[in-house]
Amino acid sequence: MPRPIHSILAALAVASLAACGGDAQPERSARGPRSNVVAVASGPTQLVAEALLGADLVRTVAPAGTRMADWRPDDEAIRQMVDARRVLVVGGEFEPWLQRTSLPPSRTVTLTDLVPVDRKIEVGAIEHTHGGGESHSHGGIVPTVWTDPVQLRAAIEALAESLPASLDGVERTNVQAPRAALLGRIDAYEASLRELGATASGRTVIATDHGLEYVARAAEVELEVALLELDGGGPPNDQGVRDLERLAKDPSSHAGVLVWPGAIDAAFAERVQEQLGLVSVHFDLGGEVDGPGSSDALERLTASVDALREAIQESRSR
């Protein structure tokens, strides 16, 4: 085998590099994940993990009700995730903090990577401004994959063996019943979606962001998005306002509701109802961690579907 001369020199250089260590005594000790838990920070990952492992083996590191878009994990939360056997995250742009946090790649499981590629919805990036603010854009895969029952089932199936196997003392038989129960609830959620589709009966549902894309597809409802971006408390996205006005123009084409996956801006909602005749409806996508005694992500999601269906019914009856 030919050996370039620089490799020979490199070998000698290595000798000098190795010498730098001298004969100091190593102070090593074994390291690795120490907590026999799976760490989660959001509602959907909590839902899946607890269904497959039980609540005792799931460590929720984000406070209940925290929006992932706003969360900055503190050092303790990061340490807890690093120490866990697995960290279950949604992925995509759902958890922006992931880009700035040092999680172990080999132990980080991303929900969006587990679902079929052809089921993912990608939206184009649109550059825009808010009043006089900086220009920016959003786009890519819509991260709310768990709201699609097909993808949620796929994720659960994908994790059914590997997640319990990552922990000590979890036998596959132990997780059969809760998993079956969750799958049953997903069926119920799917039925609610079908009812929603039937209620909308071909009318467009207008939403303030793309989080509802999978819900709409599963319910066979046509979704239009007016990207208002009012979460920050600033002025609405100019293009979003124009889109909203355009979409609301023909009352016969839409379902008479404006769906807010985020918090409703009361003042803006009131203006929309007065000027465009759209009733604002909050839709909880289940993205936040649920607190003790509160509903889990799927319950909130199903309830939101039912509430939306009722709102559409009410709007159409007016």
Interacting residues with another protein (CB under 8 A):
1, 3-4, 7-8, 10-32, 72, 75, 78-79, 82, 96, 99-107, 113, 132
Give the nearer residue to another protein in terms of CB position, either 15 or 267: 15
- What whole-number distance in Å separates Cα of residue 152 and Cα of residue 225? 23
- Give min distance, CB of 48 to another protein, in A: 18
- Give min distance, CB of 25 to another protein, in A: 7
Give the nearer residue to another protein in terms of CB position, either 162 or 294: 162
How many other CB atoms sit within 10 Å of the CB of residue 236?
A: 18
Give the nearer residue to another protein in terms of CB position, either 24 or 266: 24
Residue 307 tokens, joined = 């509430």
Give the nearer residue to another protein in terms of CB position, either 56 or 118: 118
Give the nearer residue to another protein in terms of CB position, either 86 or 185: 86
Task: Provide the 3-class DSSP secondary structure of residue 59.
Answer: strand
- Give min distance, CB of 153 to another protein, in A: 20
Give the nearer residue to another protein in terms of CB position, either 19 or 267: 19
Residue 219: partners with Cβ closer than 8 Å, 6 or more residues away? 193, 194, 196, 197, 200, 305
- Give min distance, CB of 89 to another protein, in A: 14
- Give min distance, CB of 235 to another protein, in A: 16
Give the nearer residue to another protein in terms of CB position, either 9 or 188: 9
Give the nearer residue to another protein in terms of CB position, either 79 or 271: 79
Please give the full DSSP string across 261-284, using - where no structure is assigned: SS---HHHHHHHHHHH-PEEEE--
Residue 101 tokens, joined = 């946090």
Q: Are 58 and 46 in contact (CB under 8 A)?
A: yes
Please give the full DSSP string across 22-40, using - where no structure is assigned: TTPPP-----S--EEEEEE
Q: State residue 142 phi and psi, 5-degree precision.
A: -70, 125
- Give min distance, CB of 307 to another protein, in A: 32
Q: State residue 118 phi and psi, 5-degree precision.
A: -75, -10
Q: Which amino acid is at 232?
A: G
Give the nearer residue to another protein in terms of CB position, either 70 or 270: 70
- Give min distance, CB of 132 to another protein, in A: 8
The torsion defined by the Cα of 218, 222, 224 and 225, in degrees rounded to 10, comes to -10
- Give min distance, CB of 81 to another protein, in A: 10
- Give min distance, CB of 116 to another protein, in A: 14
- The set of long-range contacts for 169-176, using a CB threshold of 8 Å and a minimum separation of 24, is 169/36, 170/53, 170/57, 174/54, 175/51, 175/52, 175/53, 175/54
> How far is the CA of 212 from the CAs of 59, 85, 137, 160, in angstroms?
28, 32, 19, 26
